[in-house]
Amino acid sequence: MPANLPPQYFEIEKKYREAKEPREKLVYLQQLLAVVPKHKGTEKLQAELKTKMSKLREAIKKRKRSGGSGGSWFQVEKQGAGQVVLVGLPNSGKSTLLNTLTNARAEVGSYPFTTNLPQIGMLEYEDIKIQIVDTPPLHKDAPPWLFGLYRNGDLLLIVLDCTNDPFSDFQQINDIINERNIFIKKNEFGDIKDAIIVLNKYEMSDAQVQTDSFLQQYQTDYRIIIEPGKDMIRLENLKKTIFDALNIIRVYTKKIGHPIDKKDPVVFKKGTTVIEAAEYIHKDFKKNLKFARLWNDSGYKGQRVEKSYILADGDIIEFHI
Ligand SMILES: Nc1nc2c(ncn2[C@@H]2O[C@H](COP(=O)(O)OP(=O)(O)O)[C@@H](O)[C@H]2O)c(=O)[nH]1
Ligand SMILES: [Mg+2]
């Protein structure tokens, strides 16, 4: 064992040893590999971790093929421009939010544990669709796959019921997910998930004082939004906050000699360059790209741009090969 491993290595290793579900173990191995300093002295350890990972992957595959039991595991395949996963304690209003934001009709109940399996809806935001995943309530003995859903999501929407105690609920949520190495605030190790906190049921008179003081305490550290309810302006605000938090851009391609047709955007991560977009759209584009022309609302009207030009939301691009 190399002597200079960071302390978090041992914390994650402990969780790895305690995890029972192979897919959970795999996640911890990935995290271990990520925190191992990369130099000659750790090469053997890195190789060992990789071997363990491939053995686990094999075992998982085999179990799937044989239809074996070993506990159920739910994964939600990503669709659309991003996957947003709802997180919350029982009765916080997750399913209601899914129904408000999307075309889904998830069951809503005034009693806890109405939602036992992930439910999916598509949120229409301008010209793209964003996937929203409703989940069973979080509690300390929640099944491992629930944390798998959180880890896999591009963004977490943490729903707090402000008629309850949002401070203690938030603390409880953090305690449980931190224990599984999921962090929604900058932390030196583990997954750092992008998250939006939704303060729900704000319209109730007993919620407002708590909501305001929660905002005051946390708004510099977190992205917080007050429950959209049936208020359309707030709902639009929530949708836009989700779009912004996903860190994505919409890029439109234009054919040479054709007019601009701002339809069917291709979605990229923020920071994507012209050459990266070209490669994604067509392998040959990358090899043969000579230059590109750009149109947008901030002054470009077909000027040539470099391959290293960083694209922005709404850019229209014409590839010349
Ligand atoms: N007053 C109020 N009640 C809400 C709101 N959102 C949800 N609820 C109620 O809270 C209860 C739990 O909602 P549900 O969406 O099933 O919560 P979940 O368990 O987190 O999925 C239901 O009785 C809902 O009608 C809201 O914005 N305001
Ligand atoms: Mg529910």
Query: What are the DSSP calls for 98-131, one per residue?
Result: HHHHSS------SSS----S-EEEEEEETTEEEE
Distance CA 303, CA 102 (A): 39
CATH homologous superfamily of domain 248-320? Beta-grasp domain (3.10.20.30)
State which of 87, 91, 113 you would mutate to test the pocket of ligand 1, scoring each by most atoms of that ligand within 8 A of its C-beta.
91
Helix intervals (H) in the chain? 7-18, 22-35, 43-65, 94-101, 144-152, 166-179, 208-218, 232-245, 274-281, 283-288
Cα-based torsion angle of the residue sequence 301, 130, 82, 246 in order, rounded to the nearest 10 degrees? 70
Q: For the stretch 13-25, what's the b/e string if a residue is b when 16 or more beta carbons lie within 10 angstroms of its beta carbon?
A: bebbeebebbbbb
Residue 320 backbone phi and psi in degrees, to 5 = -115, 120
For residue 115, the ligand 1 atom closest to its alpha carbon is: 21
Equal fold, 83-245 vs 248-320: no
Q: Which residues of the chain, if any, have pLDDT below 50? A: 69
Pocket-forming residues, ligand 1, beta carbon under 6 Å: 88, 90-96, 108-110, 114-115, 137, 200-201, 203-204, 227, 229
Ligand 1 centroid to Cα of residue 90, in Å, is 10
Fold of 83-245: Rossmann fold (3.40.50)
Residues with CB under 5 A from ligand 2 (ion): 94-95, 114-115
Instruction: Please report which ligand is nearest the Cα atom of 136.
Output: 2
Domain spans of the chain, in order of start: 7-65, 83-245, 248-320
Tokens for 150, please give them. 């959180």
Least Cα distance to 251 among 241, 235, 265, 262 occurs for 265
For residue 112, the ligand 1 atom closest to its alpha carbon is: 19
Residues 6+ apart with CB under 8 A from 218: 170, 197, 224
What DSSP element (H or E) covers 198? strand 195-200
Nearest CA to ligand 1 atom 13: 93
For residue 159, the ligand 1 atom closest to its alpha carbon is: 20
Distance CA 71, CA 59 (A): 14
Distance CA 274, CA 257 (A): 20
For residue 200, the ligand 1 atom closest to its alpha carbon is: 27
Neighbours of 32 (CB within 10 A): 23
**In the prediction, which pLDDT does 186 show?**
66
Ligand 2 centroid to Cα of residue 101, in Å, is 14
Contact 321, 288 (CB under 8 A): yes
Least Cα distance to 23 among 51, 60, 55, 49 occurs for 60
**In the prediction, which pLDDT does 67 show?**
58
Give the single-character DSSP code of 22. Answer: H
Distance of CA 39 to the CA centre of its chain: 31
